[in-house]
Amino acid sequence: MINELLLQFGHWMEAQEYSQMLVSGYYSYNWVEAIHVLTLMVSIGSLFVIDFRMMGWLLPNVPATTIAHRLHKPMIIGFVIMFITGALLVYAKPVETIQSLWFRIKMVLLLLAFINAWIFNARLKAAEGTWDNDPVAPKNLRSGAIISIVLWCSVVTMGRYIPYDWVDCANTSNTTILWAAGCVDQLNAL
């Protein structure tokens, strides 16, 4: 049911004039994709600096909350640009993207990354002032930082897999993959 609804939504988006303009303009699509990838350096780059500090790998002599608070703004700016350009990339190729297994895994990982960030921020706030000058963060913050690094590395990897067609609807007959990727037509034809 959810797969059918998502596919209908994809077809509706694909029929939009601006979606067609975006995907047919060689440079417009490439520019959006380039900005999406380049803002990784601002968003995930800043996030990694914060996570590395929590792990004690970077700037152990600088208070951790100072790093976290001061880099929060550029990191958020980076993420906002990344999400806008990411949404535009989906809007340009909606059916293809919605039926991509890698895109779906990426969305689940993104959700997990945000839940982890929310828990991490709550823990950081609760522990503020108790360990700030220690070279390594307390265990619960370190685990949050390492989960963040792993999740975001996985998000980037899934994003990199999306253009490849190994498990596209047309290239697989495995029903579990077809269901997970939302290949409605292929499932109905079985």
Partner 1 sequence: MISTILNQYRATASVVAVLAVIILLELLGFRSAIYPSLLPAFEWIKYSTPIGVIGTTYGSIYATVEALHLISMATIGGLVLATDLRLLNVVLRDTPSETIVEGTYKVFKVALVVAVLTGIFCAAGVADKVYYMPVFWIKMGVLAAGSVFMIFFKQPLLSGVPHSEISPWSIRLLAVTSILIWFTVAATGRWIGFS
Q: Using CB under 8 A, list all residues that contact partner 1.
A: 30, 33-34, 37-38, 40-42, 44-49, 52, 57-62, 66-67, 70-71, 73-74, 153, 156-157, 159-161, 164, 166
In angstroms, give the least distance from the CB of 75 to partner 1.
9
Q: Which is nearer to partner 1, 60 or 138 (CB)?
A: 60
In angstroms, give the least distance from the CB of 171 to partner 1.
12
Contact 23, 32 (CB under 8 A): no
Q: Which is nearer to partner 1, 21 or 163 (CB)?
A: 163
In angstroms, give the least distance from the CB of 161 to partner 1.
6
Q: How many CA atoms lie within 13 A of 43 on its CB side?
A: 20
Measured between alpha carbons, how far is 168 from 86 in angstroms, rounded to an integer?
A: 20
Q: Which is nearer to partner 1, 13 or 89 (CB)?
A: 89
What's the sign of the alpha-carbon dihedral 80, 149, 37, 7? Answer: negative
Q: Angle 64-92/101-127 helices, nearest 10 degrees?
A: 160
Q: Which is nearer to partner 1, 117 or 156 (CB)?
A: 156
Tokens of 137: 């963060």
Q: Which is nearer to partner 1, 3 or 154 (CB)?
A: 154
User: Cα-Cα-Cα-Cα dihedral of 57, 58, 59, 62, to 10°?
Assistant: -70
In angstroms, give the least distance from the CB of 49 to partner 1.
5
| Distance, first Cα to last Cα, the chain | 17
Backbone angles phi, psi at 110, to 5 degrees: -60, -45
In angstroms, give the least distance from the CB of 29 to partner 1.
9
